[in-house]
Amino acid sequence: MRIQPSDQLVLDHVAAREAAIVGRAVDWSGINSGSRNAEGLARMLDRLEAEAARLPAEGRRIATRASTSIGDDGAVRTEAHADALKITARPGAPVQVVLTGHYDTVFPAESGFQTVSTRPDGALNGPGIADMKGGISVMLAALEAFETHPDRERVGWTVLLSPDEEIGSPASAPLLADLGARGHIGMTYEPALADGTLAGARKGSGNYHLIVSGKAAHAGRAFHEGANAVAGAAILAARLHALNGRRDGVTVNVAKISGGGALNVVADNAVVRFNVRVPDKAASDWIEAAIREIAAEVPFPGLTLDLHGGMTRAPKPMDASQTALFEAVRDTGALLGQTLAWKPSGGVCEGNNLHAAGLPNVDTLGVLGGDIHSDQEFAWPASFVERAQLSALILCKIASGEIDALKLKSLRLETM
């Protein structure tokens, strides 16, 4: 592969817009769009829709499905979610690229982390600047530049920007699965590591909520007439924690126990919340069976147990399609003087969903940064153009056939 004159014009288009690419990400990061901040998500969606109108494509809002949430009191509630934004160009083209990102962040509306500042070392510090408002800006810049390429008609593309990735994509999962089944190559814009390293193999993840119901009683007068749900929850949490170390690569994180009330009342409700990570499907099957076994045995009489949740993202191994795609991306980066490497990650993202649906994908094409999910989150400004040029050149090489999207898809299907 080499950079053709038509490719260079695309790269120059990106470079000329550096200030705008960085500036809009900074602007977006000033909008709090925590996963459950409906007002902030609506504002962010308006801004994204306006940006999508700059592209020669059809943009429309897509309703997402409701999900189930468990309150700290054990009540099961239905939760609505914001719309996703879908942007589509040339759906009839022979090669289809799926680009995904999320416009929610982990920072709730009441968070004290609301603005972007520049650190003494030049890095941008702000909520979502790396994860992933910077990534969305990079994605859109790459597409806008690619649309000037003479071979663009050979490639169709669909963007999905979702409102719920940070809570496991419960509302957008069906949309991701549909796109994954239809596309040939996926490009997702989670941040790379600060040195540009990409995430390769990813573990799978599951979120669970175990409701423990007991019987209330006066702690002094009638203690033995009650059944303490909080005590039962503690025993169950210990049993879950004891699963750690029993199978290689599997972890169980008991994240929270809620419930109970006044100190003189035997608690009649509690909820144990936990997350699991698994390296492969066999491990996923094992941990699910182990969890259900624990949830089927009450710690002592008088309690009832009700398990909710499950595996939300399947493991994403480095199979033949993933290896071939990463090597093609590495070679494309080398044309730009970018040295790209990858390593396994215990984290999960929409790339897991896409891979499970049959789509080979690279899911850390966003900006270079770090300390995400904290008030130290940062991104390097120079990486915005670098990463947009990488994505734009990948699209050019898909259009030219130098990256064989159809072959990559075929490799993925062979392993399903």
**pLDDT tens digit sequence for 17-61:** 999 999 999 999 999 999 999 999 999 999 999 999 999 999 999
Query: Per CATH, is 5-201+316-414 categorized as 3.40.630.10?
Result: yes
Give 93-111 pLDDT, tens digit per residue.
999 999 999 999 999 999 9
Residue 140's pLDDT band (boundaries 50, 70, 90)?
very high
Instruction: Cite the DSSP H helix spans in 183-280.
Output: 229-241
Going from the C-alpha of 316 to that of each of 96, 179, 187, 357, the distances in angstroms are 21, 17, 14, 11
Residue 227's pLDDT band (boundaries 50, 70, 90)?
very high
Give 152-208 pLDDT, tens digit per residue.
999 999 999 999 999 999 999 999 999 999 999 999 999 998 889 999 999 999 999
Calculate the CA 86 to chain-centre distance: 16
Task: Tell whether the model's pLDDT for residue 238 goes beyond 90.
Answer: yes
Going from the C-alpha of 59 to that of each of 45, 54, 136, 181, 323, the distances in angstroms are 12, 10, 15, 20, 32
Q: Which CATH number fits domain 204-313: 3.40.50.300, 3.30.70.360, 1.10.150.20, 1.10.260.40?
A: 3.30.70.360
* Phi, psi for residue 232 in degrees, rounded to 5: -60, -40
Give 293-333 pLDDT, tens digit per residue.
999 999 999 999 999 999 999 999 999 999 999 999 999 99
Give Cβ neighbours of residue 223 (< 8 Å, ≥ 6 apart).
Answer: 217, 266
Amino acid 328: pLDDT:
98
The sign of the dihedral angle between the CA atoms of 314, 318, 320, 326 is positive
Give mean pLDDT, residues 362-386. 97
CA distance 132 to 373: 11
CA distance 73 to 63: 29
Amino acid 324: pLDDT:
97
Amino acid 416: pLDDT:
83
Task: Tell whether the model's pLDDT for residue 415 goes beyond 90.
Answer: no
Tell me the three state secondary structure of residue 334. Answer: helix
Give 239-255 pLDDT, tens digit per residue.
999 999 999 999 999 99
Q: 253 and 207 in contact (C-beta within 8 Å)?
A: no
Q: Where are the domains of the chain?
A: 5-201+316-414, 204-313
DSSP letter assigned to residue 60: E
**In the structure encoding, which two tokens stand for residue 258, read together?**
């809620």
The arrangement of strands across the sheet holding 58-62 comes to 58-62, 84-89, 155-162, 95-102, 185-188, 361-362
Task: Tell whether the model's pLDDT for residue 70 goes beyond 90.
Answer: yes
Helical axes 18-29 vs 382-400, angle rounded to 10° = 110
Q: 80 and 390 in contact (C-beta within 8 Å)?
A: no
Q: 393 and 331 in contact (C-beta within 8 Å)?
A: no
Q: How many percent of the chain have pLDDT more than 90?
A: 98
Residue 387's pLDDT band (boundaries 50, 70, 90)?
very high
Contacts 24+ apart (CB under 8 A), 292-299: 294/236, 294/239, 294/240, 295/210, 295/236, 298/232, 299/231, 299/232, 299/235, 299/236
Q: Give me the chain's average pLDDT, please.
A: 97
**In the structure encoding, which two tokens stand for residue 318, read together?**
């480095």
Amino acid 36: pLDDT:
95
Residue 214's pLDDT band (boundaries 50, 70, 90)?
very high
Task: Tell whether the model's pLDDT for residue 116 goes beyond 90.
Answer: yes
